[in-house]
Structure 1
Amino acid sequence: MTATLSEATRQRDLIAAVGRSLFDRGLTPGATGNISVRLGDGSTLMTPTNVALGDLDPARLSHLDADGTHLSGDRPTKEAFLHRCMYCERPGDHAVVHLHCTHAVGVSILRDVDAGDVLPPLTAYYAMRVGRLPMVPYYPPGDADLARAVQAVAGRHHAVLLANHGPVVSGRDLKTAQFAIEELEETARLFLMLAGHALRPLTEEQAAALRPAPGAAP
């Protein structure tokens, strides 16, 4: 399938609009965070390196072919490999969002969390939009071992938390991925805000009835 010009134009405009929304609400500071969309021909539109998500120019987004070769636009984010890892393991997903959002990053720094499922299902929407959230160990940005660590869990989970770094979330389209990562950040905020209080999360049975099936995006 080929990507039509109108499809690419719509997705470019949507990436810029979503980036502006995330940036304006303080969900990723400075020039951090990145967004990508996989087009119908298998190529990918991606936010460039060293550009704040609030300052994206749709015409200058990086365009990469299905093998990750840079075709046009500005130089892609150095974290492009995170997006490729998700797409490789999740053929039904067509968008990835990676943020350095404050509360999710805060949770990623905590010592005594369950690395297999970092956040409890505090709300129904978290269970539906995120499901389970594994955390991969810390690696320096750009380290090939980080790519392998993400790829090892991406087939079963569309949301991953990078230790001392931030979340990576894929979805069937960009709005789905956006809403899921926003729900993740809000749940991380609640989790930190309620620290020291007795919690009443959803039961395992209640959460299981809402979570997407392993390997499926919501």
Structure 2
Amino acid sequence: MSEQALRERIALHGRSLFERGLTFGSSGNMSVQLPDGMLITPTNTCLGRIDPDRISKLSSTGELLSGDKPSKECFLHRAVYDARSNDQSIVHLHSTHSVAVSCLADIDPADVLPPITAYYVMRVGRLPLVPYFPPGDEGLAAAVESQARLSRAVLLANHGPVVAGADLDSAVNATEELEETARLFLMLRGQPTRFLTEPQCDELRQRFPN
């Protein structure tokens, strides 16, 4: 896919996520890795109104080559790419249900959400919780990188999800699956619930490896 086509794809997904209420205001960011750098949504930009030509293009060393000033969390994207060399795209949102789950006191930080559906296991898998850091704090990079080596998705405490994928469509689909699973998890709290068993999850992981 050409660089221009990738720019247009980022804008298309951004508008779709915004119009369906998965991102708000100027929150959230998306990126796609290029052979010579990275495309990333600009800082203080509403994902619902992205101009493809103003998407930031960074060199492999982080220099701004074209477009507007990049997201202040571009260091976070670079940390995930360093940890996951086969993934080419990252989506970071402040989606409501995922953020709500990230604020709960009684979740398992090693794996936040239970295996409610097969599609969650297939598209997201394990979801570790990364401790809270202030927005833009570069100390977050090392914490995220260590967890991203083991999981394509991480949940930032009191902040939101960061999800990597082989391409932009895959990363967006996994992010949407995570948000829907977070919504189901909150709906089911306090109810007798049947989750997938570990053998059922193992079978899914073998048939549909991330």
TM range (shorter): over 0.9
Please state how far the C-alpha of 1:71 moved relative to its aligned partner.
1.1
Question: Which residue is equivalent to 1:145?
Answer: 139
Query: Gaps (5+ residues) in structure 1?
Result: 1-5
Please state how far the C-alpha of 1:35 moved relative to its aligned partner.
0.4
2:112 is matched by which residue type in structure 1? Answer: V
Question: C-alpha distance in 2, partners of 1:155/1:121?
Answer: 20
Q: Does 1:7 align with 2:2?
A: yes
1:121 is matched by which residue type in structure 2? Answer: P
Question: C-alpha distance in 2, partners of 1:29/1:52?
Answer: 7
Aligned residues: 210
Determine if contact 2:28/2:47 at 8 Å carries over to the other structure.
yes
Question: C-alpha distance in 1, partners of 2:76/2:13?
Answer: 19
Question: C-alpha distance in 2, partners of 1:78/1:199?
Answer: 40
Question: Which residue is equivalent to 1:38?
Answer: 33
Please state how far the C-alpha of 1:212 moved relative to its aligned partner.
7.1
TM-score norm. by structure 2 comes to: 0.97
* Deviations, residues 73-126 of structure 1 (Å, cap 9, x unaligned): 000000111110110111110000000000000000000000000000000000
Percentage of identical aligned residues: 58
1:20 is matched by which residue type in structure 2? Answer: R
Question: C-alpha distance in 1, partners of 2:119/2:198?
Answer: 15
Q: Does 1:90 align with 2:75?
A: no
1:112-131 matched pairs, under 5 angstroms: 112-131=106-125
Quick one: which of 105, 122, 136 aligns to 2:99?
A: 105
What's the RMSD between the two structures over aligned residues?
1.5
Tell me: CA distance 1:212–1:147, structure 2 relative to 1, closer, same or farther (3 Å).
farther
SS at match of 1:37: strand
Please state how far the C-alpha of 1:27 moved relative to its aligned partner.
0.1
| Off by >6 Å, runs of 4+ in structure 1 | none
Question: Which residue is equivalent to 2:18?
Answer: 23
Query: Gaps (5+ residues) in structure 2?
Result: none
* Deviations, residues 171-199 of structure 1 (Å, cap 9, x unaligned): 00000000000000000000001111011
